[in-house]
Each structure stands twice: as C-alpha cells, then as structure tokens.
C-alpha cells in the first residue's frame, strides 16, 4: 500500500478503477528513487483530481503559482545578470533557491492541470523603486529577503483554505517550510554583508527589520506578540520574561491573499 | 508468554505507541509506515486486550488537544536542549553562534510556554528528557542534535497539519513551523554553509519532509524519558 493510498482511501477509485493502472502505478513506484517519487505522485494527483478540484483550492493553488512564477523569474534573471552574484558560495545558494522555485512552479502547474494560470510579465524594479535590483547585489538580496518572507506569510495565510484536502494541505505546508529555509539563508547572506543588515537575523524581529522601508507592507503585523489571546511576553524566560523581540520572532504571522496580491502587483506588469 | 509480551508492551509504550493505540486502528493503516515501525506493527497485531500497563504513561488526549500536547512535548524537548546549550556553551563557540542559539532557546521556551497556556488544564506535565547521548562540550555533537531536532520539528508540524481539526490551531502550527524551518536553515548552515535546504530534506519537487506523529515520536523517543501515552493521538 503506498502512502497516498492510505491518506486518501478514495484515491484508487478516483485514479482509475481498472486494476491494471493500480498495478502499473505500484510497479512504477517501486522503480523510481524516493526523491523522484513526489513528481510521480504529482502527475497521478492531476489525473486523480484534475478537473474536480474545488474552486477554493484551485484559487489558492493559482495564487501560490503566481508567487512561485515571480520568485522563479526573479532568481533566473538575477543569476543571468552578469556581475551581480560573483561569490561562488552565493551563486550556489541562489541556484539552490532558484531550483526550488522552478520545482514549485512545475509541481503546482502539474497539480492544477488545465486550470493553471499563465505566467505574468514582471518588472522587478517595481516601477523604479528598486531600479538597481539586478546591478546592486545588496539591493538584490534585500528584494529576495522580502520575496521569501512574503512567500512564507502567503502560504501560511492559505493553509486554512486547504483543509478539505489532506494531500494538498500537506504539499502546501511542505513548500511553506522550504520558503522559510530560503528566508533564513537570504537573511544570513545579508547579515554577512554588514551595513544596514549587520544585525539582521534568520528570523523576523518585530515588524520590518530589513532596513528597507519600501517593503514595510511585507512585514505588516509581524510585530504581533499575542497568540490565541495570550501575551507571549507574559511567559517566564530564563532571566525574566520572554522579551518582546523573542515573542515576535518565535511566531511568524500570516498575510491575507489581498495583502500578498497587493505586494505582488507592484512587480507584475501584465 | 504473558510476561514476554508485557515487557514488549512496556518497551514500546516508551515510544508513545501503546498497544491499545495500535489495536484501535486498523493494521492496514500502518502497513505503509516506515521500516522502523515494523516491530511495533507486529505488536499491534496481537489481539490480547488485557495487559496491565497498557494505559500507562502521560496521556496526550484526543483530537486537537492530543496534537497540541504532541507539539508541546516536542517544544519541551527543544527548549530543554537549547537551555542546556546556552547554559554550557560548547568549546570554541563564536559570539554570533552564542547570540543565535540563545535566540533559538528563547523561541522554543516561548513555544513551550504558549502550548502550556493554550492547553490549560489539558496540558501534559513537564517531561523528563534524556540527553545522555549528547556531548554538550562538542560543537559537532550539539549542532548535529540541533539539526536533527529542527528538521524533525519541521516535518512533525508539516505532517500534523492535516490531522488538525480547527483552522485556528492549524494557523498556530503554521506560525511556529516556519520559525522552526528558519532555525533549521541556520543550524544547517552553521554545520555546512549552503546546506540550509539540502536535498536530504528537500526533494526533487522542492518539497520539505512531513512525518506522521507515530514516526516522529519513534524518532524522538530516545530523548524523552517520560513515557507518553499516545493511544488517542491522531496519526496516519
């Protein structure tokens, strides 16, 4: 029995009632390496749910796909901008991140099938606000920082809208934490550059801690210290209460779809 | 035979998998579980219902309460670990490492205290941990353990999401898991620069791992002395 079968007992029925397909699926599964399996799952997934995904889930996945298109195009352009990312370690890290974003695009397109939205056209200078984003390495990292933190907040805000489908919820959560790993690394890259980002941490401290006021909306509400009506700074820490800084760092906050689209629209021309 | 099985039962209930827990669910449900659980599944097949001690251990509860207590248990483990790391830093620790590991300690304490407060009277007791396998004086040992805990935490929250019933609890788990992933990214980079999202944790679809509560508790078991009773903990 494969994992997906016991997660969704109806899966077999949906995928194809004919046993031959199930048999083919199992033998196929046995041949591919574990790391390749999720792609196989994704294509089965499309077959299984394709046209029958509830509109609410299609909307969330297309929203996520739009953000992934944006991130993938951003890193692709950055890596192709001569002289922008020169350090070999930095190139390797940005390539890892770019590859993940490409994979997210492919995965979501696959899950959505014919319902997938097309790739928009982008202006990563946001109408000139970040005019040197592909020639100034620090500016590039600052925008990357904002994109990754936006991605984390965007997926978080949509989890509740995916509860009707265990598989899709789990996949979305599995993308969400990868975006957070990216954000952690980009923030470390920025810190190592010193200057305005010299005290930046892998986690978000207070509201906008990036030193770039143009991205304030990305961090709106991140300074929240109340969780489930409990004030986190009322808890005992090691020496005294949990600090306000730690209270805001310990919980990442969601962004609504509207807030995310507003941020994304600054970079989307058509 | 009874004694033998009783011993087995005690052994496995330290992993949080009481005999009853397994019996109450269909054996087939577990057939897809990892190899590590094979022995547990075998015990679960036994149909003798009358073991003394089958309800032993700290009861996590059922439904969302059980999931939150499960998260509380993991946060207790992490908080205890980083408390010790910060109190007795490994030799050669840098100033920046000290700052960041102390930050993580405070985040984990905030998580722990949050779950305790949110669960109110349903919260489990404080767990006794077993860190005897960790050399707190060694950077390598401490960071390897931190990496294991952070990656485990990420996959635990990722895997638990679909078992949560209330949207507000799912959101809380989401608020915490990304912070654990930020920790994981940092710790991995401290061990090896650029390994923040290595292909040992992120697959070829760019997806992080997720694990069921059963898998996670089995992995965490060596570090938790207190016996957990996970018989009504949702899992898959």
pLDDT of residue B44: 34
ipTM of the complex: 0.84
β-strand partners of A241: A236
In chain A, the percentage of residues whose pLDDT exceeds 70 is: 81
The answer for A 114-133 residues in CB contact with B (under 8 A) is: none
**Rounded distance, CA A140 to CA A83, Å?**
12
**Rounded distance, CA A219 to CA A68, Å?**
19
Contacts of A30 in chain B (CB under 8 A): none
Of the two residues A47 and B145, the one the predictor is more confident about is: B145
Query: Do residue B189 and residue A188 have CB atoms under 8 angstroms apart?
Result: yes
Q: Sign of the C-alpha dihedral, residues B60, B63, B65, B68?
A: positive
Nearest to B212 by CA among B177, B236, B228: B236
Lowest mean pLDDT among A50-64, A160-174, A251-265, B204-218: A50-64
The total number of residues written for chain B in this structure:
236
CB atoms within 10 A of CB B91: 8
β-strand partners of B129: B224
pLDDT of residue A65: 98
Which residues lie below 8 Å from residue B75, measured CB to CB, with a gap of 6+?
B108, B111, B112, B115
A46 band by pLDDT with thresholds 50, 70 and 90: low
Q: How far are the Cα atoms of A74, B136, B191, B208 from residue B144, in angstroms, in the given order?
A: 33, 11, 8, 19
pLDDT of residue B18: 41
Query: Do residue A180 and residue B189 have CB atoms under 8 angstroms apart?
Result: no
Task: Say whether pLDDT at A113 is over 60.
Answer: yes
| Structural contact between residues A102 and A69, judged by C-beta atoms closer than 8 angstroms | no
Nearest Cβ partner for B110 among A1, A232, A253: A232
pLDDT of residue B54: 56
| A169 vs B: CB within 8 A | yes
**Rounded distance, CA B84 to CA A89, Å?**
32
| Structural contact between residues B223 and B200, judged by C-beta atoms closer than 8 angstroms | no
Nearest to A264 by CA among A127, A42, A67: A67
Count CA atoms within 13 Å of residue A112 on its CB side: 23
Nearest to B34 by CA among B209, B174, B222, B202: B209
The full 3-state SS of B101-140, as one line of letters, equals HHHHHHHHHHHHHHHHHHHHHHCCCCCCECCCCCCCCCHH
Q: How far are the Cα atoms of A24, A73, B29, B156, B230 from residue B58, in angstroms, in the given order?
A: 45, 50, 24, 19, 8
Q: Which residue of A has its CA nearest to B177?
A: A177
Contacts of B184 in chain A (CB under 8 A): 181, 184
Contacts of A150 in chain B (CB under 8 A): none
Which of A56, A165, A184, A237 best tests the B interface by mutation, with the highest count of B CBs <10 A? A184
| Structural contact between residues A6 and B32, judged by C-beta atoms closer than 8 angstroms | yes
Burial pattern A214-236, b for ≥16 Cβ within 10 A else e, equals ebebbbeebbebebeeeebbebe
Query: Do residue B205 and residue A92 have CB atoms under 8 angstroms apart?
Result: no
Q: Which two tokens stand for residue B217?
A: 């508790």
| CB neighbour class for B8 (10 Å; exposed up to 12, middle 13-18, buried from 19) | middle
pLDDT of residue B55: 73
Nearest to B60 by CA among B215, B209, B226: B226
A42 band by pLDDT with thresholds 50, 70 and 90: low
Backbone φ and ψ for B166, nearest 5 degrees, come out as -95, 130
> How does pLDDT run across A158-216, given as a tens digit for each residue?
999 999 999 999 999 999 999 999 999 999 999 999 998 999 999 999 999 999 999 99
pLDDT in tens, chain B (236 residues): 334 434 433 333 333 334 444 443 433 343 334 333 333 333 333 344 445 555 789 999 999 999 999 999 999 999 999 999 999 999 999 999 999 999 999 999 999 999 999 999 999 999 999 999 999 999 999 999 999 999 999 999 999 999 999 999 999 999 999 999 999 999 999 999 999 999 999 999 999 999 999 999 999 999 999 999 999 999 99
Is A45 strand, coil or helix? Answer: helix
Of the two residues A17 and A139, the one the predictor is more confident about is: A139
| A249 vs B: CB within 8 A | yes
CB atoms within 10 A of CB A146: 23
Query: Do residue B196 and residue A102 have CB atoms under 8 angstroms apart?
Result: no
Name all domains of chain B by residue range, CATH numbers in brackets: 60-227 (1.20.1260.10)
Contacts of A92 in chain B (CB under 8 A): 194
Contacts of B175 in chain A (CB under 8 A): 156, 227, 251-254
């Amino acid at each position: 029995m494969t994992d997906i079968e016991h997660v969704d007992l109806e899966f077999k029925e949906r995928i194809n009632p004919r046993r031959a397909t199930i048999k083919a699926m199992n033998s196929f599964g046995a041949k591919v390496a574990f790391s390749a399996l999720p792609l196989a799952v994704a294509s089965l997934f499309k077959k299984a749910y394709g046209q029958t995904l509830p509109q609410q889930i299609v909307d969330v996945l297309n929203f996520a796909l739009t953000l992934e298109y944006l991130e993938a195009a951003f890193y692709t352009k950055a890596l192709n901008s001569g002289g922008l990312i020169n350090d070999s370690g930095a190139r390797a890290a940005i390539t890892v991140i770019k590859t993940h974003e490409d994979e997210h695009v492919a995965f979501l397109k696959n899950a959505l099938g014919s319902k997938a939205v097309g790739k928009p056209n982008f202006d990563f200078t946001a109408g000139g606000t970040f005019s040197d984003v592909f020639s100034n390495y620090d500016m590039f990292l600052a925008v990357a920082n904002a994109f990754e933190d936006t991605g984390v907040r965007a997926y978080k805000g949509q989890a509740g809208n995916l509860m009707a489908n265990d598989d899709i919820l789990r996949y979305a959560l599995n993308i969400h934490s990868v975006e957070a790993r990216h954000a952690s690394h980009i923030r470390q890259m920025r810190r190592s550059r010193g200057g305005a980002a010299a005290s930046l941490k892998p986690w978000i401290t207070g509201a906008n801690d990036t030193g770039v006021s143009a991205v304030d909306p990305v961090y709106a509400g991140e300074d929240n210290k109340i969780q489930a009506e409990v004030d986190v700074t009322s808890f005992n820490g090691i020496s005294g209460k949990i600090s306000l800084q730690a209270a805001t760092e310990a919980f990442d906050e969601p962004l609504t779809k509207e807030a995310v689209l507003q941020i994304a629209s600054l970079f989307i021309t058509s | 035979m009874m004694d033998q099985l009783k011993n087995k039962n005690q052994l496995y209930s330290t992993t949080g998998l009481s005999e009853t827990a397994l019996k109450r669910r269909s054996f087939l449900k577990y057939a897809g579980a990892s190899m590590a659980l094979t022995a547990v599944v075998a015990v679960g097949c036994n149909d003798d219902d009358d073991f003394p001690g089958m309800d032993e251990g700290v009861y996590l509860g059922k439904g969302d309460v059980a999931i939150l207590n499960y998260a509380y248990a993991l946060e207790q483990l992490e908080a205890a670990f980083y408390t010790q790391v910060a109190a007795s830093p490994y030799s050669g620790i840098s100033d920046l490492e000290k700052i960041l590991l102390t930050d993580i300690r405070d985040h984990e304490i905030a998580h722990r205290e949050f779950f305790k407060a949110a669960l109110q009277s349903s919260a489990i007791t404080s767990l006794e941990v077993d860190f005897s396998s960790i050399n707190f004086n060694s950077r390598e040992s401490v960071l390897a353990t931190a990496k294991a805990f952070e990656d485990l935490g990420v996959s635990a929250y990722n895997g638990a999401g679909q078992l949560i019933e209330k949207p507000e609890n799912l959101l809380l788990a989401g608020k915490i898991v990304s912070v654990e992933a930020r920790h994981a990214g940092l710790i991995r980079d401290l061990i090896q620069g650029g390994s923040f999202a290595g292909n040992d944790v992120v697959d070829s679809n760019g997806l992080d791992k997720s694990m069921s509560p059963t898998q996670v508790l089995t992995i965490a078991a060596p570090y938790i002395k207190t016996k957990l009773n996970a018989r009504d903990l949702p899992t898959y």
